[in-house]
Amino acid sequence: MTDLPPDPTLDEMRVGLAPLVASNAAFDGWKPAAVDAAADTLGIDRDVARLAFPGGAVDMIDAWFAHVDAEMLRRLPPETLAAMKIRAKIAALVEARLDIVAPDREALRRALAVLALPQNAVRGVKLGWRAADVMWRAAGDTATDYNHYTKRTLLAGIYAATVTVFLDDESEGQADTRAFLARRIDDVMRFEAAKAKWTGGPHRLSLSRFVGRLRYPPAA
């Protein structure tokens, strides 16, 4: 059970409720009933708990994804990541996120369906960008130029594609998902190695096309 301080603020309540709401969303969907069940678990008044998510389903999903960010950073502190090469850091960070959401895979599937709705598409893109930004910052990236945006765009594409595979992966220990992730990271490593040539030559890189290939890779 998540511990809350006495007389918690709405922000503290949102943090405490988020993972419990996700667990209930697998059954109740991202609806007020999921918040009610989470509030009952924590002994919070249902009406007050609902105030923590004024934007409804998207706010609930946002809070859960923020919980995933925080838990990922807890599992992979700076001293652990410092000993890894950049490729291993990114793989470890993405795999940690998948391990965190694995118990609530159906809630994740429902969350992505909510974010895919036209009215939520912009918010969904922002949440994907935020996840990529948190991972790159954890990996030690300090770029502020063009690289800042390309790295996050590419990682957001990799993460989205990997989640798609993960949702239907029934292999032992999500081995198929991890292998898929490794291949996509290899693609990016090759991209980084060739980037100077692509951007300096007569044919500039089409970033949208490259990300599209990550999301929908050709069949092996």
Instruction: Annotate 37-84 with DSSP letters as a single string.
Output: HHHHHHT--HHHHHHT-TTTHHHHHHHHHHHHHHHHHHHS-HHHHTTS
Domain annotation covers residue 4: no
CA distance 93 to 74: 11
In terms of residue numbers, what domain contains 149? Answer: 10-215
Residue 1 covered by a domain: no
Query: Does residue 5 lie within any of the structural domains?
Result: no
* CATH at 165: 1.10.357.10
Give the pLDDT score at 189: 76
In a domain, 44, yes or no: yes
Higher per-residue pLDDT: 86 or 193: 86
The count of domains in the chain is: 1
What does the pLDDT look like over 83-106, one tens digit per residue?
999 999 999 999 999 999 999 999
39-88 confidence digits (pLDDT tens): 999 999 999 999 999 999 999 999 999 999 999 999 999 999 999 999 99
**H helix intervals, 168-206:** 175-200
**Mean pLDDT, rounded, for 108-114:** 98
Does a structural domain hold residue 3?
no
User: Which residues 6+ apart lie within 8 Å of 79 measured at CB?
Assistant: none
pLDDT at 198: 59
pTM of this prediction exceeds 0.75: yes
Residue 135 counted as domain residue: yes
% of the chain exceeding 90 in pLDDT: 74
Q: What is the mean pLDDT of residues 16-45?
A: 96
Token code pair at residue 211: 């990300």
